Amino acid sequence: MADEFPFEISPMFEGERVRKDGMYVELAGPKSKGFELVKAVGMDEIEDGKFTLIGPDLSEMEEGSRHPIAMIYRVAGELVEPDLEAIVERRNHDFQNYIQGVMHLNQRYDIWIRVSKDAVKKGLNSFEQVAKATMMLFKNELPFIEKIETTYITDLAEAEKELEAAMESYKIRDERTRNLHDEDVDVFYGCTLCQSFAPTNVCVVTPDRISLCGAINWFDGRAAAKVDPEGPQFAIEKGEVIDAVGGEYSGVNDLAKSLSNGEYDRIKIHSFFEFPHTSCGCFEVVGFYIPEVDGIGWVDRDFTATAPNGLPFSTMAGQTGGGKQIVGFLGIGINYFRSPKFIEADGGWERVVWMPKNLKDKVLVDIPEDIVDKIATEEDVTDLESLKAFLIGKDHPILERWVEEEEEEEEEAEEAIEDIAAAAPGMMQMPAQAMMAGAVAPMAMAGGSGGGVKVILKNAKVSIDRIIIKKSE
């Protein structure tokens, strides 16, 4: 098959690296420029197998020199569509590494290629050979490609000009991928890397929920699971949708049950209060329920002071980690703030009342405009009193919940536990194993009641490990 080429072609050469000692030329890379691009085009727009080179060929390059390179592949076929461009383009890396004596690193505008002296000695003297081999591999391995035409550019000015157009293509593509949501896919990905220290933790990664460590998004899960389906990242069939808003799926539940050894059997991916995602301790940010305002605060690892509830990140992280479902705390990755499904089951951003300034700034553009100024930071408030005043002053949508609570409270007055003295910040602990039956807010505070706190339990089955109540001063 590969007799026409002066080099061998095999996946065996994939990990082969060309050291500086053995390098004939270096193309693109951190000290030069270049990119690779695959474009889907119409069947009659290209000539199959055609190769064009703009700029000097390999034979005209001096040993040890460095040059820019742009590699543009235009592909066509009945099944070829723009959505496939990224996947096809990714294979350029694989295929060029199959060629003995060619090293291809990275992707897109960061590609870095070296050709070895040995390969040149054996007769590799033109980019046409590399392009033809790559085109052959594209067509063999991706049979939906019916036609392919290639242009390589080694002329700096030309390459730079084309790079501008390429950047536009990447941008369009990125917008498309950012628009991928949970409902658009059939599989999610799981990760069990952290089970070594949190044995019941299962991370579920979906297009709308990055892993809580912030390191693994849905595409990373897909890439890893494809290379090693038995590895720490693996596919989870979604199965039946049980709760579209909360993000509950039968496939995820089944898997949660088996991977946690039956510790829990339901996960709602976008819920804070009901069957929340477990946390292994690696999370970038921890969310904490503030019963006094019926809202949620978020604090990240870098914030060392205490949150308005009087607790620092480290204390809350200690409560949250360990791979258990802890109602009242939730570990997330920063990128989850950018998700349109961000704690959708609990009211999304309308439920958020406090974040450290730095964290808020990081995700500022992703916070809905009408709420962004209503979320307090450590610059606005220091404790629960000032937080409450801030929320009232800004007319935070959370106030609506207070009104509802007050109304219901009158109806259910007999169920209320009256006048529990104001819990000093942090001294009133959440029930460790509270089982909420349906109700979203397990505890609510009667707005504006000054020193006293009323705890209302509605339709709640509660088993409490420990409540510490302190006298108010």
Partner 1 sequence: MTRVIAITGKGGTGKTAIAALLIRYLTKGDRVVLAIDADPDTNLPETLGCEVEKGIGDMREFMLTQRDNLPPDVNKESIFESKIYEVLSEMPRYDLLVMGRPEGSGCYCYANNLLRGIMDRLVKNYDVVIIDTAAGLEHFSRKIIRDIDDLIVITDGSRRGLRTAERIRELIRELEANVRNLYVIANKVTDANKDKITEIAEELDLELIGAVKVDKMIEERDLLGLPLFDLPDDSVAVEEVGNIAKKLEL
In the complex, least distance from residue 174 CB atom to partner 1, rounded to whole angstroms: 5
Cβ neighbours of residue 71 under 8 Å, at least 6 residues apart? Answer: 34, 35, 36, 37, 92, 111, 131, 150, 151, 152
106 contact choice in ligand SF4, partner 1, none (CB below 5 to 8 Å, kind-dependent): partner 1
Q: Is 57 helix (H, G, I), strand (E, B) or coil?
A: coil
Cα–Cα distances (Å) from 279 to 7, 232, 243, 341, 346, in that order, read: 50, 17, 21, 19, 18
List beta partners, residue 37: 72
Token pair, residue 20, equals 């500086």
> Which residue, 205 or 371, has its beta carbon nearer to ligand SF4?
205
Q: 239 — alpha (psi -120 to 50), left (phi > 0) or beta?
A: left
239 contact choice in partner 1, ligand SF4, none (CB below 5 to 8 Å, kind-dependent): none
- Yes or no: say if 346 and 440 are a contact pair by the CB < 8 Å rule: yes
Max Cα separation, the chain?
91
> Which residue, 90 or 394, has its beta carbon nearer to partner 1?
90
- Yes or no: say if 202 and 259 are a contact pair by the CB < 8 Å rule: yes
In the complex, least distance from residue 416 CB atom to partner 1, rounded to whole angstroms: 42
Q: Is 209 helix (H, G, I), strand (E, B) or coil?
A: strand
The single-letter DSSP state of residue 135 is H
> Which residue, 283 or 349, has its beta carbon nearer to partner 1?
283
116 contact choice in partner 1, ligand SF4, none (CB below 5 to 8 Å, kind-dependent): none
In the complex, least distance from residue 149 CB atom to ligand SF4, rounded to whole angstroms: 41
90 contact choice in partner 1, ligand SF4, none (CB below 5 to 8 Å, kind-dependent): partner 1
220 contact choice in ligand SF4, partner 1, none (CB below 5 to 8 Å, kind-dependent): partner 1
In the complex, least distance from residue 203 CB atom to partner 1, rounded to whole angstroms: 10
In the complex, least distance from residue 318 CB atom to ligand SF4, rounded to whole angstroms: 16
Q: How far apart are CA 99 and CA 92, in angstroms?
A: 11
| Distance linking the first and last C-alpha atoms of the chain | 86
250 contact choice in ligand SF4, partner 1, none (CB below 5 to 8 Å, kind-dependent): none
In the complex, least distance from residue 192 CB atom to ligand SF4, rounded to whole angstroms: 6
Residue where the block lists tokens 């409450």: 388
CA angle (31 as vertex; 30, 33 as ends), nearest 5: 80
> Which residue, 190 or 356, has its beta carbon nearer to ligand SF4?
190
> Which residue, 109 or 385, has its beta carbon nearer to partner 1?
109
108 contact choice in partner 1, ligand SF4, none (CB below 5 to 8 Å, kind-dependent): partner 1
For the chain, the residue count is: 473
CA atoms within 13 A on the CB side of 385: 6
- Yes or no: say if 111 and 36 are a contact pair by the CB < 8 Å rule: yes
105 contact choice in ligand SF4, partner 1, none (CB below 5 to 8 Å, kind-dependent): partner 1
> Which residue, 159 or 282, has its beta carbon nearer to ligand SF4?
282
Q: How far apart are CA 329 and CA 327, in angstroms?
A: 6
20 contact choice in partner 1, ligand SF4, none (CB below 5 to 8 Å, kind-dependent): partner 1
Cβ neighbours of residue 207 under 8 Å, at least 6 residues apart? Answer: 180, 181, 182, 184, 185, 218
In the complex, least distance from residue 4 CB atom to ligand SF4, rounded to whole angstroms: 46
> Which residue, 226 or 470, has its beta carbon nearer to partner 1?
226
15 contact choice in ligand SF4, partner 1, none (CB below 5 to 8 Å, kind-dependent): partner 1
> Which residue, 130 or 213, has its beta carbon nearer to partner 1?
213
In the complex, least distance from residue 319 CB atom to ligand SF4, rounded to whole angstroms: 17
- Interaction site with partner 1 (CB under 8 A): 15-17, 19-21, 30, 86, 90, 93, 105-108, 110, 112, 170, 173-174, 177-178, 191, 193-194, 211, 213-217, 219-220, 223-224, 232, 282-284, 301, 334-335
Strands, E, within 280-336: which ranges? 285-290, 295-300, 329-332
> Which residue, 318 or 451, has its beta carbon nearer to partner 1?
318
Q: How far apart are CA 65 and CA 114, in angstroms?
A: 10
In the complex, least distance from residue 401 CB atom to partner 1, rounded to whole angstroms: 31
> Which residue, 259 or 293, has its beta carbon nearer to ligand SF4?
259
In the complex, least distance from residue 213 CB atom to partner 1, rounded to whole angstroms: 4
- Interaction site with ligand SF4 (CB under 6 A): 191-194, 203, 211-213, 215-216, 280, 282
